[in-house]
Amino acid sequence: MSGNGRIALVTGASRGIGRAIALGLAARGFDLALNDIEAQGAALKETADEARAMGRRVEELYADVSDKAQVQAMVADAVARLGTVHAVVNNAGILRASDVEHCPEDYWDSVMDVNAKGTFLVIQALLPVMKAQGYGRICNISSIGGKHGAPEQAHYSASKAAVMGFTRVLAQEVGPLGITANCICPGIILTDMGRVNLDDPAISNAWKAKTAMARIGAPEDVAGPVAFFCSDDSAFVTGQTLNVDGGIVLS
């Protein structure tokens, strides 16, 4: 799964799964455009510097993926600095927990705006670039939460289900253009966002018991499958959703 100097844009790359994906792609030979919001600037620089230490070209790009103007400027900046973008990993995402009855409207809107609309906006901005070069690899990060969900995450589950449905249709539209579009569904992964619950031994042990591999995932567990979808090893794979969950969703 060599990147052969191809260029990948990774959103939400400052920490957690996004950071692991960025470093995994760098280790496999991809040059990188790394995105996050400005508040994550210090962490994004750390990720970028680690990738640079592997000998890769890396550019840091700040944008809120839910804002169309910022996304378009980010993509234009990436192309100006690196020449083009061959692959994109739409990883940026948020979770604001609430039950359905009491969920504030702004919780629903913000989660849908970042997780679902953000994925759409980034791809919409990149498609002219990929279409012009007759090549593209799109990897959208959904979640097993989009398949089954959990209490107090209905809006998050809805946003991740939207990403899967969007990816299936996108694959049909862009396939003739030399572009593939696939989806990754991480399971229970120990990140800063996941640590809120997983630091509780009872919750952590309960998830381990539901997982065929009897462990919680690490962000690095997601990097290899993403690299596959970003490489030519997956040249005849599109419209697919891959569970990366250690065996929670057995399908």
What is the set of active-site residues? 156
Q: Which two tokens stand for residue 179?
A: 């572009």
Distance (Å) of CA 144 to CA 44, 112, 213: 26, 16, 16
Q: Which residue do the tokens 């969703």 mark? A: 249
β-bridge pairing 7-10 and 31-36: parallel
Q: Are 205 and 162 in contact (CB under 8 A)?
A: no
With residue 40 as reference, give the H or E element that holds it: none
Q: Which two tokens stand for residue 19?
A: 């950071």
218 DSSP assignment: -
Residue 183 pairs with which residues in a beta bridge?
140, 241
Cα 1 to Cα 234: distance, rounded to the nearest angstrom: 9
